[in-house]
Amino acid sequence: MTLTLDDDQRYRVVASRDPRFDGWFVVAVRTTGIYCRPSCPSITPKRENVEFFRGAPAAVHHGYRACRRCRPDVTPGSPEWDIRGDIVGRAMTLIADGIVDRSGVPGLAERVGFSTRQLHRILTAELGAGPLAIALDQRVRNARTLIETTDLGFSEIAYAAGFGSIRQFNDAVRVAFALTPTELRGRRRAPAGTGWLTVTLPAREPYSHGQVMRFLAARAITGVEAVSEDRYVRTLRLPHGPGLVDVRPLTGRAGMVASLRLADLRDLAPCVNRLRRLYDLDADPVSVDAALGDDPVLGPLVRERPGLRVPGTVDPYETAVRAIIGQQVSVAAARTVAGRLVAAVGPVVEALEGVDRLFPSAEEVLAAPDEAFGMPVSRRETLRRLSEAVVADDVSLELGADRATLRDQLRSVRGIGPWTADYVAMRCGDPDGWLATDLGVTASLARHGLDPSAAESWRPWRAYAMHHLWTEGSK
């Protein structure tokens, strides 16, 4: 699904300053050389003076710089990449997770199954910018975060943000913001030696924060996570080392504010991306609620809980392990068993609020003794078979994986059935994920006199419909 607006419709959105469209596109003003989010509070420019781009990379590529007033570089991401599972959506997900910085464009192309030339052509045709330009935009945004929230020197920031040289870093910052790094830092410099970064994670209104926190709290694993009504602390296994995050709701608007402690600052982009996916911050709640709100069963639930989200994952392998542990047991029992496995083989890291362990990797699960699992033999062996397949790269558990392929690969592992494969795909970002055999879903449908075929009318938002049914059933 794509937002199909022509330029005249986009101009009317800009004239109305509608924040729902922030992240879907940017508006660039020829007379000033700046680009803005659609909701920018500045005076609306004349129609003949503006052009529109799908995102900031294309605007920068055409010589525009970011507006200092509306900060289009800190809007929620486009919800389109969560909806779409095609080549463009998968590429954008992987770029956001820092794959270009780690493996280059060839690595990205290999992950999505295209040549670098084909991938560049596809992204440029649809988005107005190729993978390098999109990755450069992300580096600049990461650099701005580090400039404004740390006391790091600019050479350290350039390296951490993924730039090859301090000159490239300086030039990119000036092009993007019409400011030097020194001017950009201004008086925002963080206290020396804190070791923590603070980033804002905006979301589109409305946002059902309490529903997400209850979902996370019910599944929180001791040692890995600590959840309260308005705080989420956990460890993360990131590409270059461990991370520790402390996330709280923003005051006065939708979204979260996250304090991050990273072993390697190059992990800023993947850390932020994974938190955004965990909290489903790039969703378009207005479209979801409008699609489900007229349904006779879901309508009352949508009105009771507008802006409901589908919590994602920070680590697809972790989610798959937790799903296997949870087969045929309650959420609370699965949480207890997972906690025992973490206590037995999860690596110890820096502690905060009792959170002091990483969730074990596939290699660590394979090396774990039988007594570490605390579960039936059949389920223990399923975990080992999954871990073997992940280590051998027969199952690709990563953000941006093709959803159909992910399901097929998981189901090829003996002991993993449709429910587990579909659940993992849903947590990895499929907004139409549907667990037809889930006991909570079937019970909710039965209460309303419906059979599973009713879910066909809820496409492409069946995952959101299911979370409404789950939330109703947990009252």
Dihedral of alpha carbons 213, 216, 219, 224, sign: negative
Question: Averaged over 340-361, what is the pLDDT?
Answer: 95
- Active-site annotation, residues: 36, 438
Q: Which of 314, 316, 231 shows the shortest CA–CA distance to 270? A: 314
pLDDT band per the 50, 70, 90 thresholds, residue 193? low
Q: Where in the chain is the domain with CATH 3.30.310.20?
A: 197-427
398 vs 1, which has greater pLDDT? 398
Model confidence over 34-88: pLDDT tens digits? Answer: 999 999 999 999 999 999 998 889 999 899 999 989 988 777 777 776 666 788 8
* CATH T-level topology, domain 197-427: TATA-Binding Protein (3.30.310)
- Is the confidence at residue 189, as pLDDT, over 70? no
- Nearest-angstrom CA–CA distance, 403 and 420: 13
And the tokens for 95? 């770029």
Second CATH level (architecture) for the domain 7-73: 3-Layer(aba) Sandwich (3.40)
The mean pLDDT of 101-122, rounded to a whole number, is 94
- Under the banding of pLDDT at 50, 70 and 90, the label for residue 191 is low
Mean pLDDT along residues 150-159: 89
The mean pLDDT of 288-301, rounded to a whole number, is 94
- Please give the backbone phi and psi of residue 259, each rounded to the nearest 5 degrees, phi first: -100, 130
Q: What CATH number has the domain spanning 80-149+152-185?
A: 1.10.10.60
| Pairing relationship of beta strands 34-36 and 65-66 according to DSSP bridges | parallel
Per-residue pLDDT at 379 exceeds 90: yes
Using 50, 70 and 90 to split pLDDT, how confident is the model at 2? Answer: very low
Q: pTM of the entire structure?
A: 0.89
| For range 421-450, the mean pLDDT | 92
Portions of the chain given CATH number 1.10.10.60: 80-149+152-185
Specify the domain boundaries for CATH 3.40.10.10 within the chain.
7-73
